[in-house]
Structure 1
Amino acid sequence: MVELRPLNVSLSAARILIIGPSWVGDMVMAQSLFISLKQTHPDCLIDVLAPAWSAALLARMPQINQAIALPLSHGQLALSTRIKLGRQLSQQHYRQAIVLPNSWKSALPVFFADIPLRTGYIGELRWGLLNDARRLHKQRLPMTVQRFVALGLPANAAPAPAYPLPKLLVSPALQADVRAKFKVSAGSKILAICPGAEYGPAKRWPAAHFAEVARQKHQAGWQVWLFGSVKDQAVAAEIQTLSGGIGRDFTGNTSLGEAVDLLSLASVVLSNDSGLMHVAAALDKQVIAIYGSSDPGFTPPLHPQAKILSLNLPCAPCFKRDCPLGHTRCLTDISPAIVLAAIQP
């Protein structure tokens, strides 16, 4: 069972529980909701119930009072555990819960926590679990971030709300810690490459293209760092082989928090449409985002200077894991030269 901190303020302060998403990019975009809530209710306390990995991101969001680890694996129902968790959460006297995932099971804890106002989209027929169940109008709210922020507003609020940009805060002390641990120097410009994409190959720019960009920036005096999870080690190794081993490969060798802190040292981040792309945008980095099968209008990097590279082919976005036409031209035809031209000198 999770361990909650005792109340440290009077119950007159509004306490809000957010049931957070299960993906890195979505959690970053959820910060726009947290910021919006604090702008509207400056004295509110925001707790987030989410997978344990998300604590590293939430710790870098100053709007969050407490991160509560969901003691379940992704997709696990565990009905009795969710009921017990809800009853435990009832001791925190939340005034409102906002459920960001659309699944039925994600709304169970807030129902059993007896939270007076339980907000979320109808999702999997959650009428009984939510008492502020809203229909999602996809055309009115085309972006994921808009959908999150709208849940923090009254149900009759104007459509397409303005959304504050996510902003992760990395202290100089945290930067110093990762510099010392990984023995890195930030004396020259750093190109951070994020070659993975959890969804599938139709979101991944070719390793050979990444390698060509890495070679040219290295020749210009830049450092090249590669980031990702254990699942991305194979593509990172391929990039290293094709580029002559010029990069520093961090894939699978950092925690999420360490990856965030290292990315905060980068000059430019080149990424597929992935969670780390959203992290980089929230770190105020120059982001070059490559889109293939996904839609940059739905989940773009939330930064005004981010450069989105998409060929807008007639077959895209197809939202498929693998190219149904077998050529993945939406990615392969974005040449290294196009990317290099997008990187500021």
Structure 2
Amino acid sequence: MSKEILIIRLSSIGDVIHCTPVARSLKAAWPDCRITWLVGEVSADLLRENPYIDEIIVWSREKFEKKLKAFQFKEASEMWRELRSKLQKKEFYAALDIHGLFLTGMIMREVKTTRRIGMRDARELNPHFMTKTGKSLGKHITDKYLGVLSCLGIQSVDHRMSLSIPEDAKAFAKRFLSDHAVLAHEKIVILIIGTTWPTKNWPPAFFIEAVKLLAKDFRIIMCGGKGELNIGKDIEGQAGVKVVNAIGQTGLLEMAALIEQASVLVAGDTGPLHMAGALGVPTVGIFGPTDPSTYAPLGEQNAIVSSQLSCNYCHKQRCPKGEASCMNSITPQSVVQKVYDVAR
């Protein structure tokens, strides 16, 4: 009988991508195991086509916590009951908590299993919910996640991330490039101009300068969510060169399909950077408050540009100095040089 394994990693986009080596390594060690993944709504599409995952359960931590904060306890309780019902439909050989919160520890209590495995350095009392905890294999975030497998006796691991793009998203990318007269022989640089943290954002003026420097050899495509619409328009308007603005025009997998066509992607430490890493697309990661030795995509095709200030890698969402000095210290010229170094 095949082993049933549950992975819990609800969000975010980058962390879900970083967690996919766990599923890959499990399937390599136990080819007949069945993997179920509990994931949030935003990141669910990243897993639907993953060949190492047999089933996904979608549950929104964000909606649940929003209802609690709004004192909508009846609605929150209903969400919890629905989740509990889904989890208890089968008994799992092991459940792996690769999120590491008090909430995910509570979710683990609802799982029918005798093996509740988590990360040794998890926060919010999470390890107290576990029967075993795994020590990180190294400094990179994938090492931290893969460490849980040692509790199952799995020593051989594969750090490669995985992201599969469905045919309809690939067809979208083909149409989009055709509609914007991007020719097959042209090299594409995709710019991701925003992140989820203010401190991880590279200044728009620097993107404008980088666009000017790159435009003579590359077609420039900007991607991102609707929250970057105004910044994207400013960059497009002030660059003075041809820029394809796809901001707010793609879903997550449609963006991934565009990224797959790129010669290189430029971004701060944000989800699309790691999507590109999973797709094998060369990247230039711009790092300030987060440590690239922990979070940058692995592989020689991936370059980093980081601040040399003494206060870098503070891992704070708000700059203690109030000026985001680390990202402001990274010049457009240094980023552009890395693009030329790694572009395929």
Report the TM range for the smaller structure's normalisation.
0.7 to 0.9
Instruction: Name which of 151, 164, 168 aligns with 1:169.
Output: 164
* Structure 2 length-normalised TM: 0.86
Return the letter of the residue paired with 1:28: I
Could you report, residue by residue, the CA deviation over 1:166-190 in whole angstroms, capped at 9, with x for unpaired residues?
A: 1323366642333226734352111
Instruction: Name which of 14, 20, 29 aligns with 1:31.
Output: 20
2:96 alignment partner in structure 1? 98
* Structure 1 length-normalised TM: 0.86
Tell me how far apart the structure 2 counterparts of residues 96 and 118 of structure 1 sit (CA, whole Å).
6
Tell me how far apart the structure 2 counterparts of residues 91 and 268 of structure 1 sit (CA, whole Å).
44
Tell me how far apart the structure 1 counterparts of residues 318 and 173 of structure 2 sit (CA, whole Å).
36
Could you tell me which runs of 5 or more consecutive residues in structure 1 were left unpaired when the two chains were aligned: 1-11
Say which SS state the counterpart of residue 38 (structure 2) adopts: strand
- The CA deviation at 1:256 is 0.7
1:117 alignment partner in structure 2? 115
Query: Residues 129-148 of structure 1 correspond to what in structure 2 (within 5 A)?
Result: 129-132=129-132, 134=133, 141-148=138-145
Paired residues of 1:83 and 1:109 also in contact (CA < 8 A): no
Tell me how far apart the structure 2 counterparts of residues 290 and 172 of structure 1 sit (CA, whole Å).
31
Tell me how far apart the structure 2 counterparts of residues 128 and 332 of structure 1 sit (CA, whole Å).
41
Instruction: Name which of 212, 216, 220 aligns with 2:213.
Output: 216
Instruction: Name which of 270, 273, 294 aligns with 2:269.
Output: 273
Bigger proportion of residues as helix: 2
- CA distance 1:123–1:339, change in 2 (3 Å): closer
Return the letter of the residue paired with 1:125: L
- The CA deviation at 1:323 is 3.0
1:193 alignment partner in structure 2? 191
Could you tell me which runs of 5 or more consecutive residues in structure 2 were left unpaired when the two chains were aligned: 69-75
- CA distance 1:71–1:217, change in 2 (3 Å): closer
Tell me how far apart the structure 1 counterparts of residues 331 and 226 of structure 2 sit (CA, whole Å).
27
2:232 alignment partner in structure 1? 236
Paired residues of 2:36 and 2:56 also in contact (CA < 8 A): yes
Paired residues of 2:29 and 2:154 also in contact (CA < 8 A): no
2:3 alignment partner in structure 1? 14
- CA distance 1:81–1:63, change in 2 (3 Å): same
Instruction: Name which of 280, 285, 288 aligns with 1:289.
Output: 285
Sequence identity percentage: 24
Paired residues of 1:86 and 1:111 also in contact (CA < 8 A): no
2:33 alignment partner in structure 1? 44
Say which SS state the counterpart of residue 154 (structure 1) adopts: helix
2:299 alignment partner in structure 1? 303
Paired residues of 1:175 and 1:265 also in contact (CA < 8 A): no
- The CA deviation at 1:155 is 6.9
Say which SS state the counterpart of residue 64 (structure 1) adopts: coil
Paired residues of 1:87 and 1:109 also in contact (CA < 8 A): no
Paired residues of 1:145 and 1:163 also in contact (CA < 8 A): no
Paired residues of 2:135 and 2:147 also in contact (CA < 8 A): no
Could you report, residue by residue, the CA deviation over 1:236-291 in whole angstroms, capped at 9, with x for unpaired residues?
A: 22211221362122222211111111111111101111111111111111101111
2:150 alignment partner in structure 1? 153
Return the letter of the residue paired with 1:26: D
Tell me how far apart the structure 1 counterparts of residues 5 and 19 of structure 2 sit (CA, whole Å).
14
Tell me how far apart the structure 2 counterparts of residues 75 and 85 of structure 1 sit (CA, whole Å).
11
Greater Cα shift, 72-81 or 256-265: 72-81
Paired residues of 1:83 and 1:108 also in contact (CA < 8 A): no
Paired residues of 2:19 and 2:145 also in contact (CA < 8 A): yes
Paired residues of 2:117 and 2:131 also in contact (CA < 8 A): yes
